[in-house]
Chains A and B, each alone.
Chain A
């Protein structure tokens, strides 16, 4: 570069310190770093048990530059609800309350606390960093593990072909709670993610953002490929970027031409066992989902 100061497309301030223990190339750590840029310093964060809790706070150290609380696996949303009410009582409603919770802490173990938080209408930004299994305990399947993914509890063999259940559609469940702002995002599209977190922050009432976060050791790819894998998830339609504002659905990114799902699947060890028929089946599921989302977009 010739003497020009680079222009930054995202805020410069870092609120997640280096030295944290997330694996090299961690998609979830990248997610937290990016989201904090949008949330800003005037934020209190609650995190449930999970990769991010374990890697950012090895006692007596913390990577967080904002006030941060961990209580248990199941109750991040309940703790955040309490923090929000306390701030209200103190007349400090300028402070943003945010949750970072993994897919296990959101779609499985923390589900009822989150459902309660949404139903009571607390003014909290809830961010689910979804790496599609219980990664910090050694890749056990969660309700967010996609069909056919091999994990240590859904190994691929002659009978079991990896995960045999569909991925729980958590964003839709949050829409059905009447949550005023729901969005999906991926770390491969940081400006889209940051814009959504900013919107969530401005929302009066609960907001839910579900972020796909590729995981090098859990998904089985090289640590340098995290962003590329995220891009492939979005470009194949395996992961769709959208937002639902007051019930109104909108695609926020449409791939110019949807790539075959095989391009995403063949890059990851967790899908290496798939036969051509099984890949075709996944392609059909993705096509059907895409059609359904196109229909929602047209109905707008």
Chain B
């Protein structure tokens, strides 16, 4: 850390640079979306504090690089299409 160079006024010049920090490492439970069950209401997309649920061509994709595993998406899903699975139990 001592070798870090500081900019004048601590200006950070790269927008969105927290992307370097993969918060997916925090995760204990992984949200797994069953696309057949998904009705496309977008509640998972709306309520993710980390913007990790992204609209895709068909249903939604969850970004596991950053998903912290909070479980909000599973909780707000009206048709229980998202299951929280313990990371150790994933293949």
Using a CB–CB cutoff of 8 Å, the interface residues on chain A facing chain B are: 1, 3-10, 12, 14, 16-22, 24-27, 29-30, 33-34, 56-66, 187, 190, 216, 222-228
Question: Which A-chain residue is minimally distant from B75 (CB atoms)?
Answer: A224
Chain A residues touching B, majority SS? loop
Of the four ranges (under 10, 10 to 19, 20 to 34, 35 or more), the interface on chain B belongs to 35 or more
Assembled-state Cα–Cα distance A14/B14 (Å)? 16
Q: Is B40 touching A19 in the complex (CB atoms < 8 A)?
A: no
B58 at the interface (CB under 8 A from A): yes
Tell me the minimal C-beta distance from A86 to chain B in angstroms.
Answer: 16
Residues of B within 8 A of A17 (CB): 15-19, 51
Knowing A24-B69, A58-B18, the reply to whether A1 touches B4 (Cβ < 8 A) is no
Residues of B within 8 A of A65 (CB): 15-16
The A-B contact count (CB < 8 A) is 139
Residues of A within 8 A of B6 (CB): 59
Question: Which A-chain residue is minimally distant from B47 (CB atoms)?
Answer: A227
Q: Is B18 touching A6 in the complex (CB atoms < 8 A)?
A: no
Using a CB–CB cutoff of 8 Å, the interface residues on chain B facing chain A are: 4, 6-7, 10, 12, 14-23, 26, 35-36, 38-42, 45-52, 55, 57-60, 63, 65-66, 68-72, 74-76, 84
Partner of B70, one of A16, A20, A58, A223: A223
Assembled-state Cα–Cα distance A5/B69 (Å)? 25
Assembled-state Cα–Cα distance A204/B23 (Å)? 39
Tell me the minimal C-beta distance from B79 to chain A in angstroms.
Answer: 11
Q: Is B40 touching A30 in the complex (CB atoms < 8 A)?
A: no
Q: Is B10 touching A59 in the complex (CB atoms < 8 A)?
A: yes
